[in-house]
Structure 1
Amino acid sequence: FSPYASPDTRTLHDAAERALNHYFGPASRPSEPPEKPASHVFSVIPNQDTETLLIHASQTLAAVDVMSTDLAFELEGKQRHVALAIQQMVSLGALLVEQTLERIDQPRAMHLGE
């Protein structure tokens, strides 16, 4: 038996839902901004300089490298190979970030040496 078997029960159900939401739903305040989706829990400070962003990316990759390596040695078989592959990709990403940081520092070093 479905409460939506006829249009009348559907209408009654919708009206009951609206009434329950009105009386028992969370109190909303029109002046409050709408909540941000969960994907915005973490954010980056706007206009942050490139070097700082790369340093934090490097530190994050280093942490993931350690975690994936530790995980790989607790696993066996196919799962271990997957964890080691993830660790290798993280290491490659870290190398790319480090190389970029070195390129950012080179103009400063050249300028200081003049």
Structure 2
Amino acid sequence: MIKPTPNPPIRLFTVADGISTEDLLINLSETLASANALSCDLAFNLEGSKREEWLGVAQLIELAQLLADRVHEWFGPAITAA
């Protein structure tokens, strides 16, 4: 019998327990910055629609960075004080 839905994928990576929220936000920001640099480098080596696609990816990453920065602004003082 064929299952109607596949098994969920096995998670290869996890976040260790006990890491502070501030450290998680810092790591998130560094990861987004790296992804943005990679996508921009790739975009600038391409032309036409592929370049535009990768610049779109870079823009999405920048938007995610703005969201992460806002979370850090809102909760940063509370995180540091804890």
* TM tier relative to shorter chain: 0.7 to 0.9
Q: Map 1:1-114 onto structure 2 (within 5 A).
A: 39-107=10-78
Is the CA contact (8 Å cut-off) linking 2:22 and 2:79 kept in structure 1? no
What are the ranges of 5 or more consecutive residues in structure 2 without an aligned counterpart?
Answer: 1-8
89 and 76 in structure 1: CA distance in 2 versus 1, 3 angstrom threshold: same
Q: Looking at both structures, which has the greater relative contact order when contacts are Cα pairs under 8 Å and sequence separation is at least 6?
A: 2
Aligned residues with identical type, % of pairs: 36
| TM-score where L is the length of structure 2 | 0.76
Tell me the distance in 1 between the aligned counterparts of 2:75 and 2:50: 38
Greater CA radius of gyration, 1 or 2?
A: 1
47 and 81 in structure 1: CA distance in 2 versus 1, 3 angstrom threshold: same
46 and 57 in structure 1: CA distance in 2 versus 1, 3 angstrom threshold: same
Residues 47-56 or 66-75, more deviating: 47-56
Counterpart amino acid of residue 27 in structure 2: H
In the TM superposition, residue 53 of structure 1 has moved relative to its aligned partner by 1.2
Is the CA contact (8 Å cut-off) linking 2:32 and 2:65 kept in structure 1? yes
Counterpart amino acid of residue 76 in structure 1: E
| TM-score where L is the length of structure 1 | 0.56
CA RMSD of aligned residues (A): 2.1
Counterpart amino acid of residue 88 in structure 1: Q
Figure out how many residues of one structure are paired with residues of the other and give that number.
73
Tell me the distance in 2 between the aligned counterparts of 1:98 and 1:43: 23
